[in-house]
Amino acid sequence: MAMKITVIGLGYLGTTHAVAMAKVGHQVIGIEPNQQKIDSLVQGRAGFFEPGLDQELAAQLASGRLTFKQAHDESSRDADIHFICVGTPQSAGSMAADTSYLESAIQALAPFLREDALVVGKSTVPVGTAAKLAQQLAKATGFTSPNLAWNPEFLREGTALEDSLHPDRLVIGVTNPRSEALLREVFAPMIDAGIPFLVTDLATAELVKAAANAFLATKISFINAMAEIAEVSGADATELAQAIGYDERIGNKFLRNGVGFGGGCLPKDIRALIARAEELGVGESVSYLHEIDKINLRRRDRVITLLTEELGSLSGKRVLVLGAAFKPDSDDVRDSPALGIALLARAAGAEVVVHDPIALHGVAVKHPELELEQDLAKAFIGIHAVVLATEWKEYRELDPNTVTPKEKFIIDGRNVLDVARWQQAGFKVLALGRTITN
């Protein structure tokens, strides 16, 4: 049955969730303090690149099931469920997550909350946050035990809407049967479709998300550590990943070696887990995550080493970095390995040109020291070395005969190029995690 809900905070997570909830038939009010964002949303533009999202946003606006407001008003009182989707970024000056946006969201909602309504946190948080927010909510509302649940979101950028509508599993952390019943109702279409539905306590639901991202980051850094060994022993990490991946207990996903992981989630989430475990007195349990982070960052240094081995001093050399986004089909440049490499090359004296099909707008203001080029063929002109850092389709399918750099030298940072083809076109090709004979 259609329910009335609000979705608080319309960033990546909130916008996608609001659209997904409207699509399954609920009446959704999106709450976002930033008026500019609302102006864009009401015109059917999410404000970030996510395949299919703008189209679905427009469809849901047209359906009348999705509206936006800058702040709660009396209409929020009609809602049965309030989903909180605000950001929890890394705190300035520490590894811990900053949960202040959640606290503000709770404070702003409290005057409009019905006692039988449910508040559901979806943001990624340090374990123990939900219990604290429940206390804050009790104080702000005067309710003895307000209904608060946690429902972590596992969506990936690039497939966000699909992941929201057809998740691998739904996890809800609850403290009472009413909360569970309301969540079963709101997710009924997904539960009916057979999606696994796990009911836990608050702490477990919070920790599931941190654990999932830590595991994924560990898998990537594991294969990148093997790549480091492969590089000095002549082995091939890409073939190695394929071989171990056939073991079902290991699996072949998230074993692509290269310049490593980035984005708005994995890097900050492993750091937040380290910080929280230390606060809880069990820092040792995840101290290995420091290494996971370090292995990841070392891959960027490796690219600079390969560049200097080939070019000597980078001073005065023009280096083209293919990609700025942290992964393809996204315009997100947060903690992007590609951008990290561009900045390291620049710090080593190179003149750096960055190309990306869609993400350059996020780089221009923050990094005026980088030269940005939107035209791929033009980007190659005068270039001494090319680094493929984000595996956009444009780069995977690029005909090497159509580009004319000054020196034909490319480093495949994602192991996606057809090496023989590039070599036939006259390029010297190096890659991470394997030794290529040129």
Catalytic positions, written as ranges: 265
| Nearer residue to ligand UDX within complex by CB, 95 or 266 | 266
Separation in Å, CA 370 to CA 142, 351, 354, 390, 403: 53, 8, 7, 17, 21
For residue 136, the minimal CB distance to ligand UDX (Å) is: 25
Q: What is the distance, to the nearest Å, from the Cα of residue 75 to the centroid of all Cα atoms in its chain?
A: 32
- Check binding of 266 to ligand UDX (CB under 6 A): yes
- Check binding of 54 to ligand UDX (CB under 6 A): no
Instruction: DSSP letter for 78, please.
Output: G
| Nearer residue to ligand UDX within complex by CB, 266 or 379 | 266
For residue 350, the minimal CB distance to ligand UDX (Å) is: 23
Site string for ligand UDX, 304-333 (x = CB under 6 A): ----------------------xx------
**67-101: string of b/e by CB count within 10 Å (b at 16+)?**
bbeeebeeebeebbbbbbbbbbebbeeebbbebeb
Cα gap 422→410, rounded to integer Å: 9
Query: Site for ligand UDX (CB under 6 A): which residue of 222, 261, 392, 427?
Result: 261
- Check binding of 260 to ligand UDX (CB under 6 A): yes
| Nearer residue to ligand UDX within complex by CB, 122 or 317 | 122
- Check binding of 255 to ligand UDX (CB under 6 A): yes
Query: Site for ligand UDX (CB under 6 A): which residue of 72, 256, 346, 384?
Result: 256
Instruction: DSSP letter for 94, please.
Output: S
Question: Tokens for 18?
Answer: 């609001």
- Check binding of 126 to ligand UDX (CB under 6 A): no
Site string for ligand UDX, 186-215 (x = CB under 6 A): ---------------------------x--
Pick from 135, 87, 133, 140: nearest CA to 113: 140
| Nearer residue to ligand UDX within complex by CB, 215 or 288 | 215
Query: Site for ligand UDX (CB under 6 A): which residue of 83, 150, 154, 222?
Result: 154
Strands of the sheet with 147-150, listed across from one edge = 66-69, 27-31, 4-8, 81-84, 118-121, 147-150, 170-173, 197-200
Cα gap 334→346, rounded to integer Å: 18
For residue 338, the minimal CB distance to ligand UDX (Å) is: 9
Query: Site for ligand UDX (CB under 6 A): which residue of 79, 97, 133, 220?
Result: 220
Question: Tokens for 148?
Answer: 């608060």
First to last CA, the chain: 63
For residue 158, the minimal CB distance to ligand UDX (Å) is: 6
Cα gap 356→361, rounded to integer Å: 10
- Check binding of 339 to ligand UDX (CB under 6 A): no
**222-251: string of b/e by CB count within 10 Å (b at 16+)?**
bbbbbbbebbeeebbbbebbeebeeeeeee
Q: How many residues of this chain interact with ligand UDX, rule: CB under 6 A?
A: 19
- Check binding of 263 to ligand UDX (CB under 6 A): yes
Binding site for ligand UDX (CB under 6 A): 154-157, 213, 216, 220, 254-256, 258, 260-263, 265-266, 326-327
